[in-house]
């Protein structure tokens, strides 16, 4: 569940080309020769219960397990991205993972994991079509972790689809982002996070959005033994001058279920994400 609770700690790449107070055009690029410092905090609390087969449940309790199992998670992540001068219609950038720690408490037992990305540096570039391409990763992370990072970063820009025309207060658009929940010994649960973005106001050089979120199973993939649902709200603030998001928050209530060998695993919880970005 740790990955689930941290999964919303997302960095959204945005530029705003129209500076009028009536309408704003959003696109997905970095600006050259900037430093972006992103600080993200994600906290979550979840109850995990086991039902169904009385014999298995009795064995779990006999082994000292108290049901439901209470799980809390606290993750902090700081990332610094520096972009260089535009060359050949491309923008080079260097991404450094300054901090990423995860503390998880399961049934009263604390487990703090070190940063697997410590001292990791990513050399990448924004191409003329706005896509991010990872050229190399420097650090001691395992190869599989580096590959996961490349796929995640390169797919990030495809996850945010803004309207091709300028937006004014009251306008809105919808977006679907796939999410995978890893489960030990089982196939992951494949989900969709559906988000409705509504432009609330354009004031003092800032564009402010309200977010409504819904979590559902990805029905394009057969998952007959799983259930999932969730509702949430959030806000985003964008600095028009710097063409980038400077604040993001999200509160999400969610529940998951899976049946295996007559045992039903149910989980219900909340997750809260706060993200602040400073630009120099």
Confidence of residue 11 (pLDDT cuts 50, 70, 90): very low
Write out pLDDT tens, residues 188-229. Answer: 778 888 999 999 999 998 999 999 999 888 877 777 788 889
Q: How many domains does the chain have?
A: 1
pLDDT greater at residue 111 or residue 152: 111
Residue 86 is predicted with a pLDDT of 93
CATH classification at residue 255: 2.30.230
Residue 154 is predicted with a pLDDT of 62
Task: Provide, rounded to the nearest whole percent, the portion of the chain with pLDDT above 70.
Answer: 83
Token pair belonging to 51: 């039902």
Average pLDDT over residues 70-78: 89
Residues forming beta bridges with residue 133, ordered by sequence position: 125
Q: How many CB atoms lie within 10 A of CB 140?
A: 10
The domain of 130 spans 2-279
What's this model's pTM, rounded to 2 decimal places?
0.79
Q: What is the mean pLDDT of the chain?
A: 79
| Residue the block writes with tokens 């298995």 | 56
Lowest mean pLDDT among 25-29, 171-175, 250-254, 261-265: 25-29
- The answer to whether 205 touches 237, Cβ cutoff 8 Å, is no
- The answer to whether 83 touches 96, Cβ cutoff 8 Å, is no
Residue 129 is predicted with a pLDDT of 79
Token pair belonging to 146: 């580096």
Q: Which runs of E-coded beta strand occur in the chain? A: 15-16, 26-27, 35-52, 69-83, 91-106, 109-113, 121-126, 132-138, 172-183, 186-203, 206-217, 226-239, 244-260, 263-279
Closest CA to 272 of 236, 246, 233: 233
| Residue the block writes with tokens 């219960």 | 49
Tell me which range, 26-35, 82-91, 119-128, 262-271, is most confidently predicted by mean pLDDT.
Answer: 82-91
């Amino acid at each position: 569940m740790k990955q689930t609770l941290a999964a919303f700690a997302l960095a959204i790449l945005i530029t705003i080309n129209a500076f009028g107070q009536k309408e704003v055009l959003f696109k997905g690029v970095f600006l050259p020769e900037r430093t972006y410092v992103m600080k993200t905090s994600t906290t979550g609390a979840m109850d995990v219960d086991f039902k169904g087969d009385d014999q298995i449940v009795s064995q779990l309790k006999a082994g000292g397990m108290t049901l439901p199992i209470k799980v809390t998670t606290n993750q902090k992540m700081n990332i610094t991205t520096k972009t260089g001068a535009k060359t050949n219609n491309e923008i080079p950038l260097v991404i450094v993972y300054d901090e990423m720690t995860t503390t998880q408490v399961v049934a009263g037992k604390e487990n703090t994991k070190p940063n697997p990305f410590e001292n990791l540096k990513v050399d990448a570039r924004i191409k003329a079509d706005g896509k991010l391409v990872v050229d190399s990763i420097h650090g001691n992370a395992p190869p599989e972790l580096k590959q996961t990072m490349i796929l995640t970063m390169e797919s990030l820009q495809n996850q945010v689809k803004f309207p091709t025309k300028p937006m004014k207060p009251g306008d809105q658009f919808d977006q679907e982002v796939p999410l995978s929940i890893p489960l030990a010994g089982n196939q992951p649960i494949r989900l969709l996070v559906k988000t409705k973005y509504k432009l609330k106001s354009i004031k003092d050089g800032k564009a402010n959005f309200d977010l409504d979120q819904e979590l559902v199973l990805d029905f394009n993939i057969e998952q007959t033994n799983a259930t999932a649902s969730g509702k949430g709200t959030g806000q985003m603030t964008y600095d028009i001058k710097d063409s980038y998001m400077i604040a993001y928050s999200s509160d999400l209530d969610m529940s998951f279920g899976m049946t295996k060998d007559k045992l039903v695993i149910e989980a219900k919880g909340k997750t809260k994400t706060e993200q602040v970005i400073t630009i120099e």
